[in-house]
């Protein structure tokens, strides 16, 4: 009978030890499951943010597909464009004035993917203004051009308006100017 009690005690001990080991394994597995769930929640949050960013980027891309993109030229590219553009060969008339020259050069540049600005100048003590164009070159900054001659213009508020270093008739002083890109 003693042997039976010892065997039963050993079996009970083995059973309890096995159950304790199973509980330990279950607790470890539960802990690992909680960590995996936390990692999954973090991954889902990152995925959600990434999806929102992707949707916003796709919306911008759709908007950009319909837009025409223009590049700022180098000085050399601007110069080459002006050499091949024939707008300056036209004659000024009462029906074809500075604003027409400027509009045509602007449109011709943009048709070739070159960013060009239309510039309106107001002069001090004058009821008239003048239109020219501007290019924001990547190597020399903003360059103002007189589209009737393709000459570079010095343009600064409070300064006399000069084309290629020469004063023009009336020696007007620039009061203000606006560039429309």
**Between residues 42 and 175, which one has the greater pLDDT?**
175
Quote the strand ranges of 46-173, DSSP E: 117-123, 129-137, 141-146, 151-154, 162-163, 166-167
Give the mean pLDDT of the chain: 86
44 token code pair: 């889902």
DSSP letter (8 states) at residue 90: S
Mean pLDDT of 21-29: 71
Q: Where does 75-180 sit in CATH, by number?
A: 3.30.460.70
> According to the model, what pLDDT value does residue 53 have?
74
DSSP letter (8 states) at residue 94: S
**Between residues 75 and 167, which one has the greater pLDDT?**
75
Q: Residues 171, 106: contact at Cβ < 8 Å?
A: no
Report the DSSP pairing between strands 117-123 and 174-180: antiparallel
Say yes or no to pLDDT of 44 above 60.
yes
In sequence order, what DSSP letters do the residues of 58-85 get, joined into one string?
HHHHHHHHTSPP-BPPPHHHHHHHHHH-
* Residue 177 parent element (H or E): strand 174-180
Q: What residues does 81 pair with on adjacent strands?
A: none
Say yes or no to pLDDT of 37 above 60.
yes
Query: Among 75, 68, 78, which residue's Cα sits nearest to residue 113?
Result: 68
Say yes or no to pLDDT of 136 above 70.
yes
| In the chain, domain spans | 1-67, 75-180
CB count within 10 Å of CB 43 equals 10
Q: What is the C-alpha separation between 47 and 53, in angstroms, rounded?
A: 10
Say yes or no to pLDDT of 1 above 80.
no
Q: What is the C-alpha separation between 136 and 77, in angstroms, rounded?
A: 11
């Amino acid at each position: 009978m003693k042997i039976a009690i010892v065997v039963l005690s050993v079996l009970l001990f083995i059973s309890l030890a096995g159950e304790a080991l199973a509980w330990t394994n279950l607790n470890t597995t539960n802990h690992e499951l909680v960590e995996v769930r936390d990692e999954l929640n973090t991954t889902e949050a990152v995925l959600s943010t990434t999806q929102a960013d992707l949707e916003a980027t796709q919306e911008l891309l759709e908007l950009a597909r319909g837009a025409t993109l223009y590049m700022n030229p180098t000085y050399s590219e601007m110069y080459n464009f002006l050499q091949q553009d024939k707008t300056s060969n036209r004659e000024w008339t009462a029906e074809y004035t500075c604003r027409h020259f400027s509009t045509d050069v602007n449109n011709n540049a943009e048709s070739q993917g070159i960013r060009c600005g239309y510039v309106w100048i107001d002069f001090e003590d004058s009821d008239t203004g003048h239109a020219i164009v501007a290019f924001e070159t990547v190597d020399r900054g903003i360059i103002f051009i007189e589209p009737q001659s393709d000459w570079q213009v010095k343009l600064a508020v409070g300064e006399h308006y000069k084309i290629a270093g020469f004063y023009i008739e009336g020696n007007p002083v620039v009061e203000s100017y606006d560039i429309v890109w």
